[in-house]
């Protein structure tokens, strides 16, 4: 949430910062802004709306300095206005600041600063922090040899409660900047005669593949040639410089109309990457390198607890089915945001898993920390290498699907389903799942990319259906067992990108209330795969049809529905039950995507949303 980028180097800062903001725009797009230090003064340009608006403003009077910061905002404190856009300037004109996070005690600090003559032009918590740094900067002389701006930031942060990723420049110190993080991501890009700080690597990879993932509580002082990382108590940190493994092209849209479309069609390859090298030599089980638990420790696990948010939680719910079915270990799934406060009693031999595409979701991170505080080991499934969750977990599994830029998660979701199925296989093979069943399971997983390709081939038919149904204002998604979470996910996808009201429900629950919604105006998307409860699902469909509800049925090959029962039928390949949720996700992703396109919605940047939710 909120994208930040800072550049200190030998080239003009503004073009690089604007390019970085375009790449970070998916983190927030309420307003954008840039501040460049040139000829001893800050030039700040900020505007509500997208980076394109900012580019138009900047083009009117080009910025020439080689040292600057930029921000793309997802509003927390204060409405979406030019004044509330970042960067913020202290009222004495000395300090300029960009911030991702929330300063919780901002009103007490503001009162203190108002009493000392500082004034405020915005309603934001960020401007308060900016003035607090200016206050400390003005108050102190060089502090035991420490750079004065760095010392001021350190002092101000001591009095700050909340979360932050910040980058600070001081008008008196050209060619320097200070950045710090607590709870919000911040990455340092180490270049040749230039250094960069940004919220994520997508803003850095155009210049350098060498990055340092800053940790909570760290403060970095940067010049074009050097950087020095310290902790709050001034201890120097030896940096670990990592190499980013993906390239600029991975984060580009290519010939697709939207990132979401690209990411939907990328799924066969994404699944191949997520499973590559992760099966045992005898082809009967999964292997994961970074779990950091022995087979016998896994064998001793009596319960598994998953915590996640949104789409990732739906992936956990499918995984619950898979682990209970194939490994016979009881599983609980919880919203991370609820888990962290509920204090539910936990079984002694519980293994914790968190799932998070970004690895930065604050509620998921807090759930991880809460479980660790109680003495549990926590493993993480995450897509972003070096993310906070990946680093703080006791072990984990990377999804390896490359950057997911579309705000609506697609390829990250199906790869989480795949990894969940592989976990079920792994745990199952440590218990009662036979060698033969394991081999069949592995074969089924390896077939998943091709099955997804076949499901994607239905895109033209699904697009035509979407065009016929895009005028509706309500839609239900109904499924059972492991496809119930896929119904929840279908409804979430539709809501978030097309702004239609949609709900996911277990199909048989309809008669306990929601069936009251059914009319000609409320279509239902039904999952009706081959299986022992197909007849029950067909009965639920009959109940909807009897009340004139239009039905879009997603069936597996070979399912024959009674004539006239479904208004639309989408056929997906029949497959192993561990793979079915992956394949069944494809038509609902496509349906949501094409409905949103038909309604003229901004698919990759839906209103009010941002990818990577780093505020509570």
Name the residues annotated as catalytic: 2, 611
For residue 160, report the phi and psi dihedrals to the nearest 5 degrees: -110, 135
Spatial neighbors of 283 by CB under 8 A, at least 6 apart, are: 438, 439, 442, 443
Of 218, 370, 496, 503, the one binding ligand F6R by CB under 6 A: 496
3-state secondary structure 20-68: HHHHHHHHCCCEEEEEEEECCEEEEEEEECCHHHHHHHHHHCCCCCCEE
- The token duo for 67 is 């040292």
Establish whether the linkage from the previous residue to 305 is cis, with ω within 30° of 0: no
By beta-carbon proximity to ligand F6R, the closer residue of 72 and 358 is 358
For the CB of residue 310, give the shortest distance to ligand F6R in the complex, in Å.
Answer: 2
Contact window for ligand F6R (CB under 6 A) among 237-245, 338-346, 355-363, 558-566: 355-363
Tell me how far, at minimum, the Cβ of 463 lies from ligand F6R, in Å. 20
Task: Give the one residue of 90, 103, 613, 614 binding ligand F6R; rule: CB under 6 A.
Answer: 613
- Complex with ligand F6R: residue 2 or 97, whichever CB lies closer: 2
Write out the two tokens for 499: 């702004």
Q: Which long-range contacts (CB under 8 A, 24 or more apart) does 116-124 make?
A: 118/90, 118/91, 118/92, 119/91, 120/91, 121/83, 121/89, 121/91, 122/78, 122/81, 122/83, 122/84, 122/88, 123/77, 123/78, 123/79, 123/83, 123/84, 124/77, 124/78, 124/84, 124/86, 124/88
Question: Which of 475, 476, 489 has its CA nearest to residue 310?
Answer: 489
Token pair 């990055």: residue:
211
Q: Tell me how far, at minimum, the Cβ of 275 lies from ligand F6R, in Å.
A: 19
Which of 356, 388, 498, 540 lies at the binding interface for ligand F6R (CB under 6 A)?
356
Residues binding ligand F6R: what is the number (CB under 6 A)? Answer: 15
DSSP class per residue in 126-152? HHHHHHHHHHHHHH---BTTB-HHHHH
Binding mask 193-232 for ligand F6R (x = CB under 6 A): ----------------------------------------
From the list 278-286, 338-346, 357-365, 395-403, the region that binds ligand F6R by CB under 6 A is 357-365
Query: Which residues have CB under 8 Å from 452's CB, separation 6+?
Result: 267, 268, 271, 414, 582, 583, 586
C-beta of residue 123 within 8 angstroms of C-beta of residue 79: yes
Q: Which is nearer to ligand F6R, 47 or 340 (CB)?
A: 340
Using rule CB under 6 A, residue 408 touches ligand F6R: yes
The single residue among 66, 208, 305, 364 that binds ligand F6R, judged by CB under 6 A, is 364
Closer to ligand F6R by CB, 84 or 364: give it: 364
Contact, 206 vs 19, CB < 8 A? yes
Q: Which is nearer to ligand F6R, 112 or 335 (CB)?
A: 335
Smallest gap from Cβ 163 to ligand F6R, in A, equals 15
Which of 84, 361, 399, 540: binder of ligand F6R (CB under 6 A)?
Answer: 361
Q: Which residues contact 140 (CB under 8 A, 6 or more apart)?
A: 148, 151, 152, 155
577 interacts with ligand F6R by CB under 6 A: no
Instruction: Select from 413, 448, 441, 416 the least CA-distant residue to 286.
Output: 441
The nearer residue to ligand F6R, 341 or 435, going by C-beta atoms, is 341
The minimum distance between CB 395 and ligand F6R, in angstroms, equals: 18
32 is a site residue for ligand F6R (CB under 6 A): no
**CB-side neighbour CA atoms (13 Å) of 248:** 9
Burial class (CB in 10 A: 0-12, 13-18, 19+), 26: buried
The least distance separating ligand F6R from the CB of residue 496, rounded to whole angstroms, comes to: 6
Q: Is 409 in the site for ligand F6R (CB under 6 A)?
A: yes
Least spacing, CB of residue 334 vs ligand F6R, in Å: 14
Please list every residue from 367 through 386 that binds ligand F6R, using CB under 6 A.
none
Residue count (the chain): 616
Site string for ligand F6R, 295-314 (x = CB under 6 A): --------------xxxx--
To the nearest whole angstrom, how small is the minimum distance from the Cβ of residue 406 to ligand F6R?
8
CB of 492 to ligand F6R, least distance (A): 6
Pick one of 126, 358, 498, 614: the residue that binds ligand F6R (CB under 6 A).
Answer: 358
Name which of 26 and 42 has its Cβ closer to ligand F6R. 26
273 part of the interface to ligand F6R, by CB under 6 A? no
Alpha carbon 463 to its chain centroid, in Å, reads 27
Shortest spacing between CB 471 and ligand F6R, in angstroms: 23
Nearer to ligand F6R, 178 or 362 (CB): 362
Q: Which of 357, 414, 556, 592 binds ligand F6R (CB under 6 A)?
A: 357
- Number of H helices and E strands in the chain, helices first, is 18, 25
Which CB atom, from 253 or from 609, has the smaller least distance to ligand F6R?
609
Name, in order, each residue with C-beta under 8 angstroms of 383's C-beta and a sequence gap of 6 or more: 357, 358, 359, 398, 399, 400, 401, 404, 412, 415
Which residue is nearest to ligand F6R, using beta carbons? 310
Those residues with Cβ within 8 angstroms of residue 117's Cβ, 6 or more apart along the chain or in another chain: none
Stretch that binds ligand F6R, among 99-107, 153-161, 352-360, 549-557 (CB under 6 A): 352-360
**Residue placing its CB nearer to ligand F6R in the complex, 106 or 413:** 413
Place of tokens 């607890």: 305
- Rg for the chain (alpha carbons), in Å? 26
Pairing of strands 41-48, 568-572: unpaired
Of residues 123, 56, 115, the one with CA closest to residue 84: 123
Residues 415-474 that bind ligand F6R (CB under 6 A): none
Q: Between 45 and 584, whose beta carbon lies closer to ligand F6R?
A: 584
Residues 310-339 touching ligand F6R, rule: CB under 6 A, are 310-312
Secondary structure element (H or E) that encloses residue 221, with its range: strand 219-222
Q: Using the 8-state DSSP alphabet, how is residue 250 labeled?
A: G
In this structure, the number of other CB atoms found within 10 A of the CB of residue 435 comes to 12
Smallest gap from residue 264 Cβ to ligand F6R (A): 12
* Interface with ligand F6R (CB under 6 A): 309-312, 356-358, 361, 364, 408-409, 492, 496, 612-613
């Amino acid at each position: 949430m909120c994208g930040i980028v800072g550049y200190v180097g030998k080239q003009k800062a503004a073009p690089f910062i604007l390019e970085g903001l375009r790449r970070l725009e998916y983190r927030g797009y309420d307003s954008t802004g840039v501040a460049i230090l040139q000829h001893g003064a800050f030039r700040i340009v900020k505007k509500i709306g997208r980076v394109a608006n900012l580019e138009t403003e900047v083009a009117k009077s080009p910025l020439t300095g080689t040292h600057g910061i930029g921000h793309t905002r997802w509003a927390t404190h204060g409405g979406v206005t030019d004044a509330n856009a970042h960067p913020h300037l202290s009222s004495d004109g000395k300090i300029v600041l960009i911030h991702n996070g929330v300063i919780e005690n901002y009103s007490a600090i503001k009162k203190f600063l108002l009493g000392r003559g500082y004034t405020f032009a915005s309603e934001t918590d960020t401007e308060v922090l900016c003035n607090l740094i200016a206050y400390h900067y003005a108050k102190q002389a060089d502090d035991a040899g420490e750079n004065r701006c760095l010392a001021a930031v350190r002092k101000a942060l001591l009095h700050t409660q909340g979360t932050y990723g910040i980058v600070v420049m001081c008008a008196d110190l050209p060619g320097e900047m200070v950045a710090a993080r607590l709870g919000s991501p911040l990455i340092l890009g180490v270049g040749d005669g230039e250094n960069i700080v940004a919220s994520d690597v997508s803003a850095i990879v155009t210049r350098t593949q060498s990055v340092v993932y800053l940790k909570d509580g760290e403060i970095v002082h940067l010049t074009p040639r050097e950087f020095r990382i310290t902790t709050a108590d001034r201890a120097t940190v030896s940096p670990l410089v990592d190499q980013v493994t993906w390239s600029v092209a991975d984060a580009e849209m290519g010939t697709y109309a939207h990132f979401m479309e690209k990411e939907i069609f990328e799924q066969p390859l994404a699944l191949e990457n997520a499973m590559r090298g992760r099966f045992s030599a005898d082809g009967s089980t999964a292997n994961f390198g970074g779990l950091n638990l022995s087979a016998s420790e896994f064998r001793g696990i009596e319960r598994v607890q998953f915590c996640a948010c949104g789409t990732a939680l739906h992936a956990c719910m499918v995984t619950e089915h898979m682990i209970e079915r194939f490994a016979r270990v009881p599983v609980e799934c919880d919203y991370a945001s609820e888990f962290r406060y509920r204090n539910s009693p936990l079984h002694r031999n519980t293994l914790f898993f968190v799932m998070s595409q970004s690895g930065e979701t604050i509620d998921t991170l807090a759930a991880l920390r809460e479980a660790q505080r109680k003495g549990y080991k926590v493993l993480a499934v995450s897509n972003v290498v070096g993310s906070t969750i990946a680093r703080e977990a006791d072990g984990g599994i990377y999804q390896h699907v490359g950057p997911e830029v579309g705000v609506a998660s697609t390829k990250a979701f199906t790869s989480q389903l795949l990894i969940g199925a592989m976990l079920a296989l792994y745990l199952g093979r440590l218990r009662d799942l036979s060698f033969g069943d394991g081999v069949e399971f592995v074969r089924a997983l390896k077939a998943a990319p091709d099955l997804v390709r076949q499901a994607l081939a239905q895109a033209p038919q699904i697009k035509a259906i979407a065009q016929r149904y895009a005028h509706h204002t309500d839609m239900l998604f109904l499924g059972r067992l492991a496809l119930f979470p896929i119904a929840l996910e279908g409804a979430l996808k539709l809501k978030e990108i097309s702004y239609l009201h949609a709900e996911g429900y277990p199909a048989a629950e309809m008669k306990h209330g929601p069936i009251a919604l059914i009319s000609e105006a409320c279509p239902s998307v039904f999952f009706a795969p081959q299986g022992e409860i197909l007849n029950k699902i067909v009965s639920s469909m009959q109940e909807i049809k009897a009340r004139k509800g239009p039905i879009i049925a997603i069936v597996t090959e070979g399912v024959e529905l009674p004539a006239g029962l479904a208004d639309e039928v989408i056929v997906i390949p029949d497959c192993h039950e561990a793979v079915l949720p992956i394949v069944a996700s494809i038509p609902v992703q496509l349906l949501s995507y094409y409905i949103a396109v038909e309604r003229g919605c901004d698919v990759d940047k839906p209103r009010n949303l941002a990818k990577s939710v780093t505020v509570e």
